[in-house]
Structure 1
Amino acid sequence: MNHFKGSLLQRILIPILVVMLIEGILLCVVVFNSGTMEGLKGNAYDVFNEKVSGRSGTLENDMVGRWSAIESAAETIGDGIESFIEGEGITTADLTPDSSYTSKLLENLSEELIFRMRRNAVTGVFLILDGDGRDKKAGLYFRDSDPLTEASDNSDLQAVRAPASITKKLNIALNTNWLPYFQLTEGADGTEYYYEPFRTAIERPELKGTELGYWCPAFSMHGDTGGRESMILTYSLPVYSEGIPCGVMGIELNMDYLVKQIPARELSEDNYGSYILACKKSGSGDGEAEEYTVVARSGALINQLEGQSDVLSISKESYRKNFHSLLSPSSRQGAVHSCIHDLNLYERNAPFSGDRWVLIGIEEDYHLLSFFYEFERAILFILAVTILIGVAAAIIVARAVTKPIETLTYKLKMADPGSPIRLGELKIDEIDKLSGTIENLSREVADNAHKLEAILDMTGVSVGACEYTDRAEKKVYCSGDFCRLLDIPEEEMTGSYLPTSVMKKHMAELKARQVERDREAGLYILKFGKAEEERWVRLKVISEKGRILAVATDMTQEMQEKQKIEHDRDFDLLTGLYNRRAFYRQIEEVFMNKKRMAIGAMIMIDLDNLKYVNDTYGHDYGDEYIRTAARVLQSLDTRNSVVARLSGDEFLAFFYGSGNRDTVRHRMDQIYEMFKNTKIHLPDGTSIPVRASAGMAWYPDDGENYDELIRYADFAMYMVKKTNKGAVVEFNLESYSKESYLLQCKEELNTILEKGLVDYAFQPIVDARDGSVYAYEALMRPNTENIKSPDALLALARSQSKLQQIEKLTFFKGMEIFSKKEVAKTDCRIFLNSISNQVMTDKEIKEFQMKYSAYLSRLVIEFTEEERPDAELTKVKMRYFGDAKGMTALDDFGEGYNGESILLSMNPDFVKFDRSLIKNIHEDSKKQDLVAGLIAYCRENGAKTIAEGVECSMEMDMLIGMGIDYLQGYYIGRPTHFPGDIPEEIRQEIFQAAKTEIDFS
């Protein structure tokens, strides 16, 4: 291994620099990963968001609470129009621009309009009369360029649209684009502010007032010029006369006035950001971006963006609350942040509520996060300066430390080896101590040399060494236990030396004892003695420059422990047979040479009665039971077999090389005969024979790989445990095809129970009198790859003795899913299937009652027929849930275990007739007589009847006529995960059929 070699200065300087670098990195990690930097960013975003939020709130208050507060004015004008036309004896259709009536009416209404404009502090107000419905319409349109000042003589106003006689009388100047009337062609640009609210008022007469108010995005009045400064924003309401829309009244806000309400200078100190008032029409904006039409804007940034237009494209995805990426127009400087706040200008269900009005604050990344970037640069600058200062200080300190050592080195180099070394003092404690140590070193070396061998003896470790150098005397020095460890007779030694020739002879003899060797490393493992007295020696030989050094170490204990570990790794501690790992390794080697296998048999053996022995006499006798069985199997173990213990009471054996199956069967007969004749003696003075069940799969007929054979043998063993314990059963492919899932799905069953992987469909149970839904039956649907039906799940749980867990899963999961459905909010009942001979624990029942107490009075426990009923368990369920006013139902009556005896013992609230009684009942008079009698019996004993499996109208009509209480089946309603009402036509059919009842008396 190459070690770093350098000066003391380097050894001091480099660690210091490394430490400083680590400190710098830690500082960066703390600053940049502790949340500080993100906090700074977050503060910048939050401050910007608060500014936009505050401004949007102010703007929304002005738009909703001040500028658009014209509902009372619209009502006043509507009343004025209604009084006028009534007094003049005309209709609203007569209010055309050329009518003298119109001028008189407008003159009456002008003062109200001017008053509303000044009160609401808007830049304009208008009233448009629909008249005879043509494009040319009469009306008034006044503007006030400065709503904050007011002239009593109206000299500060302009008339945009009004008859000349009215403007002259009111002393109002004419606008450069003045006209005496409105020219409004429906569908033309700049007419939405009139037609949208007016048309909506006609189409939806049930709406009134502000529900019909319409904010029209920026547009230019027909005939205006001058670019964006001539754009206006309007809010308009329909005006009614005698309850019929006859015109529109509204207010105007010009862009100059609007811009003053969204001052961009408040966004940033350098006045670089921008406010944008924008609108997105309802139904627009499909895709990954939303496009907003600009209504008003303020600030420098919006005017400096590339590709500037009246449309903003903004990402729908939000990277922070209210923040979205501005896609276009874009900035040359980098990303532009847009903070969007909605303006709630409409009521929730208003016709124009789909139009989205927003106030957007935009700022370039560099300006928004300027403090963050400045702080980041400052941290990096401080880090760089700190590292530079640290490097300079480290160099100075290192030089101060190494200078005295260099002086000491020079004195040692110049000292006379033949004279006592006098180094003098350097006035540094550590270096002066080193000098004193060097002065005493030569004296101590000799004293310590002879102690080495004594120390080795005291350690108790058997270590010996020898050294050979190319000298004339040709002898080898040996120390410690070297000769003893290598079986070299002591009498051949002279003192501590051994002749070279003798050493070479013994070394040559050691080759026969080699177990392992590594020539490159000069390492050898040697074995001495017989099996009972094994001794292992490690010999390490090093040769360099004509000198050979050998060290021998006794490693007997280490090798014995290694052998024990290897044995324990492959053999079962209790029985001495192969364990699972060793079995698979051995069987894999066997299957690599299939030519010698001929006919083989994989046999899975499972001990019977082990649980009985453990539970009755304790696990010590259970272990003896296992060991006794293992000894029987070991007695028949040959070179053509592999036998192993897989787990507690399971053994696996593979016999191969047989000429025919009868040979293997004979061996199994021998094993079973020995089992019968082999007994274990128990503490009560009795003894029992060893019993086992086994499954056998043949090679190559059943399978050609061992995994497949093990699976088949396991299945055969499972079948014999299930049917005829204590026997040997050979694998049957037909049986496996039918029931293999019982083994293959063991873990899948555990997964279902642990994770509750079942869903429930709900089938309606309806009243046979009127077709109303009385209840829903919860039908389990396993939700895994291999187990698809409730029957398969129950069969698998039954084979694993886990029906009780299924019972718990049915109650808790079924009620959990039902409680989340909309129908749970109604008063309908819920039927839950219960396994007749299973019951939850008291703790589980109490937990269920507490968790679903709100539904217990509507719960109906439906006892299924899959298992033989248990009278005591049935009483427990009825007692627990009957106290909560729950009810019981007997399922599938007439099939399986659910017959007359259980009906008499249970006295259920509901009796559900099985499909076998219902099918084609309209064609079978015997079924009709039987069902009629059952219905009569149930009525006499206070039980309601339910017909299951109704699949056609004839069956349903017959059952209703016979007086059945409730109906259930595919014809009525199929099971669904989203339960609801049954089809109306089925309900009507039930209602009509219920009018007739067949007399079977």
Structure 2
Amino acid sequence: MQNRKPHSQKAPQTGHSIFGTILFSLLAVLAVEFLLLTFAVHVTRLGPQLNQNAEDILAMQVDNRSRYLQSIFHDAQELTSLSDAINGLTQQLLDEGEISLSTLDSSSDAAYPLLEAAAPELISTLRIKSVTGVFLILNTHDLDRRKQDSLMPAIYLRDLDPDAAPSQRNADLTFVRAPAQLVQSLSIATDNSWAPTIRYRALGNQGFLYPPFQAAYKDGASLAASDYGHWTSQSYLVPGDTHEAIAYSQPLILPDGTVYGVIGVELLADYLWENLPCSELQNNGTYFLAVTDTEELSASELQLRPVLRSHCDGQPGSADESLTLRLHSAHTHRYLFSNALYIASVSPLNLYSRNAPFSGKHWLLVGSVPAVQLFAFAQRLKQLFSFIMLITLAVGFVCSWLISRRLARPVAKLSAEVAAAEADSSAIPHLSATGIRELDQFSSSFTQLSKDVLDSSTRFLRIMKLASAELGGYELRDDSVYVTDNFFSMLGLAQEQPDPLTPKAFRALMGTLEQRWFYRLSPANNKVFAIPQPDGSTHYITLRITHILGESASEVGLAEDMTTTVLEQQRIEHERDYDTLTGLYRRRAFDRACDALFQQPEKLGCAALLMMDLDNLKQINDTYGHDWGDQYIRQTGQCFAANTPASTICSRLSGDEFLIFFYGYQDQAQLRAQLELLSAALQRSVSILPNGKQLHISISGGIAWYPTDGHDLLTLKKYADFAMYQVKHSHKGRMCDFDIGSYHQEAYAAQTQQDFELLLQEELVSYHFQPIYSARSGRVAAYEALMRVDLPTLHSPAQVMQLAHETGRLYEIERITVFHSSEIFQRMQAQGLLQSDALLFINSIANVSLTVEDVEEYAQRYPELLKRLVVEITEQEDLDRACLERKRNIPGFSGSFALDDYGSGYSNELNLLELSPRYIKIDISIVRGIDTDRDKQQIVSNIVAYAHARSMQLIAEGIETEAQLRTVIGLGVDLLQGYYLSRPAAVPAPIAPAAQTVIDQLEHQRFNPLGL
């Protein structure tokens, strides 16, 4: 047993008291927290970020409002129907000699027949559009040669509240300009500024007459009338009027190119500001409409001229005062006004076609807020935050002092007892309780320390012996080295062990070990060595090194055999990176290898990504089984590996898809030669199928070139995939280059899908209603709701239904149709625009039914309409019995069904028996030409006999001529529908007088066959 060295004389006590240590530590922590908080506020730029958030919110509000405003402008400038109607009336009056182009603009009398005929069309347009006015001005001469004070025939109608329900007698309309005779005949009141004619150039060259008319006149009307459309780039007042407004107008052009006037609509400033509430801007800012000649909004300076300006924030200035906006961020501009800084967000309004004469004038919606108001919240928050930090610092100091005093007392007491026990070195002190759990635990465990150390050492030695992994170690000091018996043998250095083993020799040997067999660093940054074994295998040894500092510094190392763990990790990594069937890279390993190459573009040279798909795999799997399919895939992968340069990166993505990346070529010609060699090798590769036939590898591949097509892997993948898709859908078995033109066509299809998703999400559909009339009286019996859609790439219900079929979204179309059409129908009935007791025919998808929740919601919203609802099923669709029964058993539903397009499908009798409809709609294909086709007449007679015997009613749809109308009534149909009677419209027109006359005549003949 070693002798213990005598204790040295007790050193004098130095350092701080525990109270001071705790106090200074807490204060240091408090100071660090304070500094970190201050630094965090500075780094995170809290103030600027709050300011930026305020600007972003302003930009978002302006952007949302601009989209809403643009919809109002687009609806206002859609005047094609009005233009066509007036052109038709004009041509008819010219043919009848009622008017003459040479005198049309000379006086109101000469133009009165046309003004009188056009007035109903103008009133109808004013009713269906959200505009405050509509006008028609007649002129057939060059305006540059016309006297400025000359008068022109005109109609100018105004509705000061277009959102209110229309008056039945047009009591809510006023004439601003119109001949006195027309005012009297229509019984419409006149405005305070009324005059019978309009004075030329009363509004100047930028008004609503001169720009569109003169552009078309000088251009020879070579474009469509809508292309000459023009918005007034400054607000105006009709002479004698006090209502500020802007207007949109377009020329009237006859088919022969004659320009004979303009039509247009008006938007009053008061109406626009109702739809542009300044209160929604932060701190009540300002909205104004403006025009600029600058095409790019990202320019550093933006010169614009306000057209209309709100005054919510009290900004003075006229509407035509020019402003200079300077770009501040991606979403906002800044400008000075009356020595005050304003923050503005600018959003474009796309009102003109790109090639239109006025496309150079860009309209903008600008929302601005004074910078002081916009950033007021951020400034107040900064002040509050500073105050809170100071209070926190003061409270923290007081709490630190109290806590330090409380913690120091028991520790000082315990320290005194330990110092008292030092006098007896052979005794273990028994320390009194302090009331602190941790210190009391220390006191109770202190006497067991020596025994625990001894027990721990014994247990560790036993564990070392029982460990499944081989362990070895060393301890290196400045003057000595200790190693375990197995240390050098584990590291493969048993034959090289130096004798004597000195620290210098040990360090040299460890350096040799690292140079010879270093493998890698472990996740914990320990060195791993790959030690070759005599039997050819490899052992993997992890060496953990720890430096111990103290009175005698040393280095301790532990060597552990990790062979099993490393081999298992290698196996997992190999399975992760390599496809087990082909031996090629998997997707992630392929991406990782390619990403490393793209980090060094100098190695790429001319490169190409080839994406391929096996053509015959499904057929082989279905015919010979999946084992042969796997053999086909394996053969393909082996062919790729054997017939590509060593530097080529090959991968099997999944299933029958492969990727090959060629790189390092001088030009495309050299690389194409390699592709041709690969293609020839694939053709030569043959497998003998079980039936004895030879199977050649057939692939469909797409090629994307670097750097011609793209500069990154993601782009090349996308383009190669697209090229492969084109090959698979045209001529399989080839490798074709990516074509940017075809790609853009596919992009259009993608845009169509996006529009379809937008339609479903926001229910961007409207509904027109076509009346269904009684064949006996001509009275409206029902209306059919017909979907209308107008999106950039979607224009017809047929497109919508096709996409719904393809994408499995039929239920959403069914729900939108049922709820949306019912809501519009009920609202229009409440406004008196539709027959109050008429039925509503809704087109329903035969194999789709609403959920119980949707049915309950519909019954709650439209309980009365359920009783007058007719579900129209297209005869061409397969009926689903379960869906049919769910529709039939809706609580409160009348149970009325209509079989649509009867006669155009493939299972007429089966559908009749299955559906048992209340109404049968005879398809237009049978109605067309029925007046001359006896076979069609016989078919309808048979249907009438069958239906009437079962209390069903027949509807003849698609009636377009008087002869067809007379024939179907004579054959006994009950209800009538078609363009000859009334066209579908947002607000349906009454039955055509000619059709009513035919119905009355035939009904009279039925009751009075002798003509008495």
TM-score (norm 1): 0.46
TM-score (norm 2): 0.45
